[in-house]
Structure 1
Amino acid sequence: MRQFIEGLPKAELHIHIEGTLEPEHCLELANRNGIALQHNTPEAIVRSYDFNDLPSFLSAYYSGMQVLLTEQDFYDLTCRYFQKAASEGVVYAEVFFDPQAHTSRGVDFETVISGIHRAQKDARQELGIESGLIMCFLRDMSAESAMEHLHMSLPYKHWIIGVGLDSDERDNPPSKFAEVFIEARKHGFRLTMHCDVNQQDSLLHIRECLDQIGVDRIDHGVNVLEDEELCLDLVHRGIGLTVCPVSNHYVVQSFTSDEIRSLISKGVKVTVNSDDPAYFRAYINENFQVLAEEGDFSQQEIVQLTKNAFDIAWLSDDVKAVYLKKLENYVASFSSSVVI
C-alpha cells in the first residue's frame, strides 16, 4: 500500500504555503534577514510545536512566518513546497496564501504574490506541477481589512483562481464576510471557506457557507455528518470537502478516518490533503498512509479519495479528464505489476 500511495498521481487542494515553512528553512531565513528567533535548532523548533487545538496551533503558525520578508523568501518557500510535492506524486496543487499576515507586518502585497507566482511558473517548467493560487482572508481580522485586500489583489487577479477564509473560527462566522465574498464572486473568483473540526457553531457555519455565501467548496467540514440534510445538500450541489487527517489529529486527537469513510459512503466528494505539513510533520503521502494504517482503507477507497480531488479541483473539464486518465492508467499499471 505504501508503494501504491507514493506513486499515485495526486491533486492537493488544501495546503497553506506558509504552513510548509520547515524548521531548517525558518532558521535559514532568520539568519538571512537578521531576525532573532526564540529557538536556534530545528529540533528545538519542532519541540515548541506544543499545540492541541486550533488557537494554540495558530499562535505557532503566525510566529513562524515572521522570517518571510522579501520576494525571494516567498519564492524559496514556494519552490521548496513544490519540490516536496513532486516527490510525493502531486501533479496539481491549489495553494492558499494569507496576505494579511504579511501586510500587517509591513510586507507589501506585491512582494508576497510575486515571489509565489514566480515559483509557480518555475514549478510548471521544471517539475511539471500545475497549480492555482487561492487568497485567504483571516477571519479574526475585520471584514473591512478583507475587502481592502480583495481590492489589493485585483491587479493580480489573473494569478489568483479563488478566495478563501481561514484562521480562528470562534465568533467569526462566514456571514461576517458575506459582502466580501459577494464582491469576490463579481470579479470571477471561486469561493471556499474553512469550517474546521469541532469548532463553535460548526453546523451553523457550514449552513452559512452553503446558503449565504454560496461556496464552491468547504475546507475541513467533517462535522457535516452530524446533520443528514447538510450531507444531502453537499451531494446535491456537488460541493466537496478538503479534509486533512493528520492536522485533525492535532486538533481533535483523531485522524477522522471513520468520518472520512462515512462521507465516502454518503457520496460526498471528500479529499485528502496536508494542510500545514511543516507544523504537523506530515505531507500528503503520510496523510493517505495514516488512513491505510489506522483506518484500514483499501486501494479502492484511496483511489476514490484521489479521484474526488481531481473532480472538485478548479479546472476545466478537459484538463480534469487528462488527470483522471493519468490516474486510471496508474492504477491499471500498478495492479498488473503486482505479483501474487
Structure 2
Amino acid sequence: MTLIVKQGQEKASEAFIRMLPKAELHLHLEGSLEPELMFRLAERNGIQLPYGSVDEVRKAYDFTNLQSFLDIYYQCADVLRTEQDFYDLTWAYLEHCQQDGVVHIEPFFDPQTHTDRGIDIGTVVSGITRALRDGNEQLDISSGLILCFLRHLSEDDAFATLDLAQPYLQHFVGVGLDSSEVGNPPEKFARVFSRCKELGLKRVAHAGEEGPVAYIEGALDILDVQRIDHGVRCTDSEAMMARLAHENIPLTVCPLSNTRLKVYQHMSEHPILTLLERGLCVTVNADDPAFFGGYLLTNYMALVDSLDMSREQAARLAANSLTASFASEEQKALWLEQLQQVCA
C-alpha cells in the first residue's frame, strides 16, 4: 500500500510512533527477563544468583560480542523453573508491548535452554501460551509463538527437541534458528528444517548478524525460510540486497542489539534506513530488550535520535512489520487501515 503521511518528512516523534500499530517479529522471551524479575524468581525458587544487586547485573551487561552476551543470557535463564515463572516472564513483556503500541507479536523461545536443565517442555509451553492467551483477551495483542533451535548444538539435538514439541505443535506458528552464528552455518540444520516444512510450520532463521552473506543465502536456499532475522550483513553484497528487495524477503532488524553487540560502533552507522530506501522489507525489533537497553519503542526512537528518521519512514517500518507477520491477510488489512488513519 502507498502510505499518505501528513507532514511525512518531519522527524518522527515518540507520540506518533507509539500510535502506529506495530508488530514485533524478533524478540527472545528469555531476553526480556529484567533483573528485577530475575531476583524475584530466584527468591521464589530458592536460587542463589552470582550477582548481589540489580545494579551489579546491569553492569555485567557490557558486551563485547554475541558470545559474551550469550554466556550471561543462559546463566540468567536458570531462574525460570515453573509454569508460573514462564507466565510472569511473558506477561511482563506483553505489558511493555501495550505501552509501546504493539498489536501483534511473534516471540521466540528456546526450549533447549530449559530442557537441558531438566525442565519439562510442557511446563515452558504452558506458561508462555497461557500468558499469550491472556494478552490477546485482556490487552488485544495477538500472537504466534516461534520455537527456536540452538545452533551451537547438533541437528540431532534439534530433532530431539522437535520430537518433544510434537504434542504442542498447535501452539506454534513456526520454528527459528538462533544462538552462536559464526561456525554454525544454516546447512547444519537442513534436514530438521525440511521436516518442519513438512509439518506445515513457518520458518525463520538468524543470519547475517555476525555471520557472512553466505549464511543469508544458505538460510534462504537450504532452510527455505520466509524471513531473515537480523540480515544486516546483506550490505556486504549488492547482489544479496537486490535479491532481498526483489523477492520481498523481510529482515527483522534489531538496532539496539546491533550496537550493543558491536556489529556497529554507533547507531549513526546503522544501515536500516538505507536498506528501507533501497526497497528492502526491513522491520524494527528489540531482540533481547532486558540486555540491550530497550523495548520496541526505544529502538524506533534510537533511529530518530541518531538517523533523523522521518514520520514517513517510521510509518513504512511499522507497515513492513505488519505485512511481514504470519497473521492472516484479513487481519493485516485491518491493521494497515488503522495505520493509515494514524498517518493521515
Note if 1:269 corresponds to 2:278.
Answer: no
Q: Percent of pairs identical after alignment?
A: 44
- Equivalent residue in structure 2 for 1:222, among 217, 224, 232: 232
Residue aligned with 2:144, SS: strand
Aligned mates of 1:154, 1:213 — CA distance in 2: 20
Note if 1:312 corresponds to 2:306.
Answer: no
Residue identity in the other structure for 2:232: V
TM-score, normalising length: structure 2: 0.94
Does the aligned pair in 2 maintain the 1:245–1:257 contact within 8 Å?
no
Note if 1:164 corresponds to 2:167.
Answer: no
Aligned mates of 1:256, 1:241 — CA distance in 2: 19
Higher relative contact order (CA 8 A, sep 6+): 2
Q: Within 5 Å, which residues of 2 pair with 1:79-94?
A: 79-94=91-106
Is the deviation greater in 90-99 or in 145-154? 145-154
Residue identity in the other structure for 1:168: S
Note if 1:322 corresponds to 2:334.
Answer: yes
Aligned length: 330
Residue 317 to residue 286, structure 1, CA distance change in 2 (3 Å): same
Deviation string 1:171-223 (CA, Å, 9 cap, x unpaired) is 100000000000000001101100142x24x1110110111111100000011
Q: Within 5 Å, which residues of 2 pair with 1:67-78?
A: 67-78=79-90
Q: Structure 1 residue 40: deviation in Å?
A: 2.6
Deviation string 1:271-325 (CA, Å, 9 cap, x unpaired) is 0000000011211111000101100110000111110011110112111101111
Note if 1:182 corresponds to 2:194.
Answer: yes
- Equivalent residue in structure 1 for 2:32, among 20, 32, 35: 20
Aligned mates of 2:266, 2:208 — CA distance in 1: 13
Residue identity in the other structure for 1:53: N
Does the aligned pair in 1 maintain the 2:187–2:222 contact within 8 Å?
yes
Q: Within 5 Å, which residues of 2 pair with 1:111-190?
A: 111-190=123-202
Residue identity in the other structure for 2:134: D
Deviation string 1:145-196 (CA, Å, 9 cap, x unpaired) is 1011112212111110000000001210000000000000000110110014
Aligned mates of 2:160, 2:336 — CA distance in 1: 38
TM-score, normalising length: structure 1: 0.95
Residue identity in the other structure for 2:286: S
Does the aligned pair in 1 maintain the 2:268–2:306 contact within 8 Å?
no
Residue aligned with 2:196, SS: helix
1:338 aligns with none
1:234 aligns with 244
Tell me how large the CA RMSD over aligned residues is.
1.1
1:337 aligns with none
Unaligned 5+ segments in structure 1 are: 333-340
